[in-house]
Structure 1
């Protein structure tokens, strides 16, 4: 009898152990290290909340959250809303839409490392494709050092992110639109509805939940960005594209400050959890309002 009672725990034990060592233990150790001044090799010195106080006085760290906010706002338009528009475009009953569907989704299949190096070539100020096209169109005054200019670097990265992930959200919305019954479209056409009316009054309202999920993924995913920023600018120029993750790497691996880096990671985790809770509350309040 005891053997059968223990069997569920024995089956789940490997997964629990794996989760504990790969997720829970690093979280606990990061929180523990955040109260110490430690470079990873020498003696650990307990300093209490000094690392957290330092974090809230670190101009670059605080500025990195502002950059994330700008990045999230722009990518909502360049990824989610652009993906919604593309999904509406490829679900119109026209010939050749399957080709566009493949073309729009292709950037999603490329590794971000490949995409980053490709767009570095596009933005190159000396022989880049973008400046070459502008010169060909006799718009020489519009040419720029796109990734070397603090005023344009962050926006240039947002465009790359939109190009990469718009197809991902397009696929999500396309799957939702495909589930809408054809009877609804036929009734709308009989009432004289145009494709624009169908898109805004039928397709979008009926995939509202998917749009909310996509917005949540985009917002929370903005805090996880790293590879695009690291490869293309590494936080430069002059910290103009510095985000929390790139700054964490510099603090821990370049400056060798394990304790301070752990404090920065804990603060970021609390911010992400807080944002997630707020988004969940807004979604819940919105659903209760609709039900009422």
Structure 2
């Protein structure tokens, strides 16, 4: 639970390009993703390690909302080919918690809290609704990240330890101060390449069918791309995310199999966030 204190350090993982955009242009709320756990907002965490994990993912997958590029007057190729999009970085801020608590917020306890059973059903309904585009009136929302998805983005389970704070209004973002940027080592180091080569060699004759999350990614890739199932299996098996997702409590579990299917299909060749979210909305409409 967020402590009721005057100052708390919070972190946001991203790539160096986006970190500098935030530093010099401020946080652009309308450029944030729509279908997220607590709605459109700027997400931070009190855990530095968690922000670093996100930064490594964002450097490997440098996607941004096309709205941001319009505001910056640059095209997608300029962004995707910029060297700083591949460099992980995280932002640190001082958060004025007392100022934040004076606003209209929603607080969920973490699953290890003794009161979690009172909030579990509401948290689940709230996150599932936000991931389908529900708008809410809160300036901020705090609680656990939606964890492993069991093959569908619409059905969620809480992460036991990973917590997040969504700042959903300009008033909430004004509670942040003392921005600092920390640049991390680029993702594609020689050590990472050797680990990937070892993983690929070890799994060359295996199918992703043995891993439930990768199987879901493969099925989504098959559906989206209309490739053969064998080809989808190969693409999923030899992808960057297949190596990462095998790690226990990987941050990648917090995105949907559909998200990673789009990642494998398009990589950094295009901006596909809008296509991804439109696809999720169409899927949900077809189920009704």
TM normalised by structure 2 equals 0.20
TM normalised by structure 1 equals 0.20
Query: Counting strand residues as a fraction of each chain, which structure ranks higher?
Result: 2
